[in-house]
Amino acid sequence: MDMTKPLAYRMMPRTLEEYVGQEHIIGKDKILYRTIKADRISSIILWGPPGCGKTSLAKVISNTTKSKFYKINAVTSGVAEIKKIVEETQNLLMNPTGKCILFIDEIHRFNKLQQDALLPFVENGTVILIGATTENPYFEVNKALISRSMICKLEPLTTEDIYKVLKNSLQNENGLKSYNIKIEDNTLKKIAETANGDVRNALNGLEVAVLTTKMDENGVINITDEIAKSCVQNRKVIFDKNGDSHYDNISAFIKSMRGSDPDAAIFYLARALAGGEDPMFLARRIVIAASEDVGMANPNALVVATSAMQAVNMVGMPEARIILAEAAVYVATSKKSNASYLAINKAIEDVNAKETGEVPMHIRNAPAEGMQNFGYGNGYKYPHDYPGHVVEQQYLPDEMLGTKYYIKDENIPE
């Protein structure tokens, strides 16, 4: 092992037994484990956040398979490289099996042309594809490739998983065993926790701590909590405002307000802001929730949300976080009614799908002299001329008489 390589590279597993985490897809009773062991792998797409083990799993497969294994990066490779790999694979002198395993890192960065160039060879079995992506493949990868691949969703590693890897790195010849290191288990666990599921981040932090700490008089490198904290990046927010986590987080934010949970709403708001989400986007979502979910149960929620959106626009960050928090809590703690939301949806559905008739003549406008002669406005009863300022008369077209759209529920005050 080249010891000048980063610790994260040197600690990459070589076998399934060395692989840590992802038991839900790589446990001994799981199909992916069995197919790798039997060298019967089919095309798969590994989907998960950075540092969860996608590339490591591909490396394990490359060490296990007897098939020719190629690795390319979607950022630096193109159609020409794919064609070259296919030509080599189909050359039976160079490759008697006539097939290969092709690992494409960051496959979501392959454009449509590149993915289309790959498709025929995946389809006929010349290429067994292993794609790795941090983005939702159902959005970013050719549907034809998706249909011919097994999608494996990798989760962020647990703190315990990362702790195991860190502990192993201190005892491994390829890791940090050659250094005389003293570090408490609690300090290792804090590094693992700070990494927030990204083992690469944890290993990089530990390596920096070791390499930048002077030995004491006994030749020991003492890694304290303070040293570890200064060398490991701040706890990483698993949020990408342009990626899949954007949709997950904003969905959770909206549903927490709808579900009347102010603590969850504040939590997802904080995640969004820490991830760099546009405050005005968040303000607009609060306005929508105030109307869609609170509605007539507390019409003032829309006033508060709209005022908050205007204030966020005027003030900006970081103070806008307080305004957003106040509006989100107000919406979350308000009584809820979606009566108006259901009413407009049903009405639009009817307008688009039914013969809804014409506006009754007596409530049509007659702006020009002589239109009354054709019945425009004739017979209209002005409600303010009647007791309670209400009068019974037909407003809906004949075809829609008796239709109910707005149905009051128990949360709407009288």
Least confident of 91-100, 113-122, 279-288: 91-100
Would the CA dihedral through 109, 114, 115, 121 be positive or negative?
negative
Measured between alpha carbons, how far is 110 from 92 in angstroms, rounded to an integer? 28
- Indicate the fold that domain 159-231 takes in CATH: Helicase, Ruva Protein; domain 3 (1.10.8)
Measured between alpha carbons, how far is 265 from 270 in angstroms, rounded to an integer? 9
The pTM assigned to this predicted structure is 0.65
Domain boundaries, the chain: 22-153, 159-231, 244-333, 347-400
Domains 22-153 and 159-231 share a fold: no
Report the pLDDT value the prediction gives residue 63, as an integer from 0 to 100: 87
- Indicate the fold that domain 244-333 takes in CATH: Zinc Finger, Delta Prime; domain 3 (1.20.272)
Looking at residues 253-269, what average pLDDT do you find?
A: 95
pLDDT band at 235; cut points 50, 70, 90 = low
pLDDT band at 48; cut points 50, 70, 90 = confident
DSSP 374: G
End-to-end CA distance of the chain: 76
Looking at residues 141-167, what average pLDDT do you find?
A: 89
Measured between alpha carbons, how far is 65 from 308 in angstroms, rounded to an integer? 58
Measured between alpha carbons, how far is 244 from 225 in angstroms, rounded to an integer? 34
- Per-residue pLDDT for 354 more than 80? yes
- Per-residue pLDDT for 243 more than 70? no
Q: Which helix (H) or strand (E) holds 166?
A: helix 159-171
Q: In this structure, what are the phi and psi dihedrals at residue 225, rounded to the nearest 5 degrees? A: -55, -40
Q: Ramachandran region of residue 375, left (φ > 0), alpha (ψ -120 to 50) or beta? A: left
In the β-sheet with 150-153, what is the strand arrangement from edge to edge?
A: 68-73, 100-105, 127-133, 44-47, 150-153
Report the chain's mean pLDDT, rounded to a whole number: 87
pLDDT in tens, 51-65: 888 989 988 988 888
- Per-residue pLDDT for 412 more than 90? no
22-153 in CATH: which number? 3.40.50.300
pLDDT band at 123; cut points 50, 70, 90 = confident
pLDDT in tens, 294-330: 999 999 999 999 999 999 999 988 899 999 999 999 9
Measured between alpha carbons, how far is 239 from 50 in angstroms, rounded to an integer? 11
Report the pLDDT value the prediction gives residue 327, as an integer from 0 to 100: 96
- Bigger pLDDT: 322 or 144? 322
Report the pLDDT value the prediction gives residue 241, as an integer from 0 to 100: 52
Report the pLDDT value the prediction gives residue 217, as an integer from 0 to 100: 85
